[in-house]
Amino acid sequence: HKQFSNAIIVLGLLLAIGMASAAFILGVQAKRAVAGQQSITVKGLAEKPIKADSAEWLINVGVTAQTQLEALQLVAQERKVVEAFLTKKGLSSKTWAVDVETISPHFEEVFIKDTPRQVQKGFDAFQNIRVSSKDLAKITAANKAFLQLRAENHPVTAQAPNYLVGDLETVKMSLIADATKNARSRATEFVRQDGVKVGVMKSASQGAFYILAVGGEAGDDSYGGVYDKSTIDKTARVVVTIVYNIE
């Protein structure tokens, strides 16, 4: 009986040790599994001021004449007025390109027996002049002075200049690096009180890339990004979404 009791005790100890070992191993494995599944998703933001380094400006000449020949002659005459204006403002012929003229019938509404009808009366001729320059001051000054041509009854119109940033890819890449650092700082701050730390990056994706006017904000419908071309001084902004493992 004494030997049997000793055997039972030994067997019980072995079983207890085995169960404790198994519990420890399973606990470690479970802890690792949970740790592998734990993650945090954060957004990183970075922005910096940038300046446009070139400008594009579209000018249109539009005339109406009785015949196609007269319309072409008149549009050429008015185009020379615009070219003289540009030269006077310091924009040489190397800075502009002239599109081919376009001609279309000119219609006017007339009433025949109180019924409105569209009747052709001559032809419309149009021609675009596209100005492109890195001298933003000259483009800006010329745009401001352009109203004088309108005041002199010249049939010309002009769109507001587009102020462009040349090396957008370099700007974007530098912002992505800064936004990634910002995302890790945010993640670290989020988990600081939980006694854990931010591990390796699990996944990352770039959000919208914004070129905004200074002080401007991206609208709710700007999922694909914004490119403001109305100002020389701008703010570049990028947002990234990063998932980090938690250790």
The confidence score (pLDDT) of residue 46 equals 92
Please provide the DSSP assignment of 46-84 as one string: EEEEEE--EEEEEEEEEEEESSHHHHHHHHHHHHHHHHH
Q: What is the pTM of this model?
A: 0.75
The confidence score (pLDDT) of residue 22 equals 40
The confidence score (pLDDT) of residue 26 equals 35
Give pLDDT < 50 ranges for the chain: 2, 4, 22-37, 220-222
Is-contact 245 36, C-beta < 8 A? yes
Spatial separation of the C-alpha atoms in residues 230 and 214, rounded to whole Å: 11
Which value, to the nearest 10 degrees, does the dihedral of the CA atoms of residues 166, 171, 172, 175 take?
-160
The confidence score (pLDDT) of residue 16 equals 52
The confidence score (pLDDT) of residue 67 equals 96
